[in-house]
Amino acid sequence: MLWRKYFLLFLSFSIGLSIHAQDTHHWGNQFGTRAALLGGAVLTDTIDNAGVFYNPGNLGYMDTTSLSINANLYGLENVNIENALGQRADFKGIQFNTVPLLISGSIQTKSDWNVSYGLLTPVSFNFNGVARIEGEYNLAPEDISPGKEDLVSESGISTKLQETTVALGIGKKLNPNLGFGISLLNTLRTVNYSYRFSAKALTNSEDYFLISRTQNEFINYFALRTALKLGLNYQKSTYGFGATVTTPGLDWLGNGTVAEDLTLSNLIVPGLDKPLTAFASDRQEKLKTTYKSPFEIAFGAHKAFNRSVISLNVTHFGGFDRYRIIQAESGTLVRPDNIENAIDSEDFLNVETSMKPVTNFSIGYENQLKESITLLSSFRTDFSYFDKESLKSRQLATEITQWDIFHVSLGAEVKKSRSSLTLGLIYSFGSTQDYLQRGSFNNVEADQLLEGALVVTKAGYSNLGLLVGYAFNFKKFN
């Protein structure tokens, strides 16, 4: 059937409309009372027990039972995607966020091994945006509807991504200058994503009729994975070197839900003798999920100059070719379901992603202003692992951000006899001139059937946050 051919093509493009935040970054958050303000350049640190995450080799140098709390990162976050639907109809999301970063501690044992634990949030991203456009476009031939039709279109995205990691590490000194450690990182990833789109217009004729397309998409899943991190920390009086290797995540539990609803009403399609009206709808729950995290290798160093210390962290993250997080089951997608060669859900309702390799670096600086006050600052990169090849897929996707992010921090640590308080500001920013966006009505042709076009546009991100950290040392190890 000819209408089936056109509907199949339209369905293929429509499901590919999902925009591909922070949801494509490895270094979204940093942790630890000192480590966060040093931008994670702490692979040779011997003070902050955030080493359970950064470098378990640091744990061999811990000499107190302690508890550290980064209560929250308070931030005002702004995401702007220009011309999401064309003609300055932007996706904008401005919100106040509160992210719990880290609770960690170290425990005294009777052996040579020091034990540390941590509960942290390595990834946290929220976005809610709406774009609306009203304008005149050619959506029907002149003999059906003279002149341009008055189009009203609106699109909205809501997404929430969070990863929570429970870390358990052990470390010891192999000799007075070399520490070795291993951490077990157990991570829960949760994603809630919804996308809606509507475009409608009335024909310019006495017996006018409605031309429209509406689409609603929903993806929700969780995935549990485990990875091992091995680390070394070599210390001398005025300098140090550190290195870590993290295994790819072992995915061992998870499930998710996918849903799609697409309705076409009276679309004028070349080659069809009457307007096309059809709909596709399916919802599948408790589908198995598979989420992959990459191999990592990191190198770090520090150098002391009188009352100042400069530190460095360079970390490389591997990548993955496109794979399916969720594989949909066979089921009816297009209704009615008794048509010949029915279109099946397992061909379109799969959730896919991919990841390109990236290398990030951070530079930290600390200066002891007084015996009890230390100035801390840093600059770090957070390059996006977004892979443009993923836009070739006609499957579902949840990623939004395609831009690189840069972070600048400044603050101070105030030490007391058995505790320390850390206060600081973190500013993050990023943008791209090459954001690939589907659904724009700029230069749209009539035969594009209200789906919009794939365009290159601009997008940007900024965040200003207040970091608060507290650490308490209970007692010295024996």
Q: What is the DSSP string of 9-73?
A: HHHHHHHTTS----TTBS-S---STTTTTTTT--TT-SS-TTHHHH-GGGGGG--EEEEEEEEEE
Share of the chain above pLDDT 90, in %: 37
What is the model's pTM? 0.84
pLDDT in tens, 445-465: 444 445 544 344 456 677 777
The stretch 256-279 carries a mean pLDDT of 84
Pick from 390, 286, 392, 397: nearest CA to 349:
397
- Residue 431's pLDDT band, with cuts at 50, 70 and 90, is confident
d(CA 177, CA 477): 18
pLDDT in tens, 306-317: 899 999 999 999
pLDDT in tens, 322-347: 999 999 999 888 876 655 456 788 88
Q: Count of CB atoms within 10 A of residue 341's CB?
A: 9
d(CA 30, CA 117): 16
Distance of CA 28 to the CA centre of its chain: 8
Strand ranges inside 141-209, DSSP E: 149-175, 178-202
Quick check: helix, strand or coil at residue 8?
helix
pLDDT in tens, 191-236: 999 988 888 888 888 888 888 888 899 999 999 999 999 999 999 9
239 pLDDT higher than 80: yes
- Residue 280's pLDDT band, with cuts at 50, 70 and 90, is confident
pLDDT in tens, 347-402: 889 999 999 999 999 999 999 999 899 999 999 999 988 887 776 677 888 877 77
The stretch 266-272 carries a mean pLDDT of 75
Beta bridge partners of 183: 169, 229
Going by the DSSP 8-state scheme, the letter that residue 38 receives in this structure is T
Q: What is the mean pLDDT of the chain?
A: 80
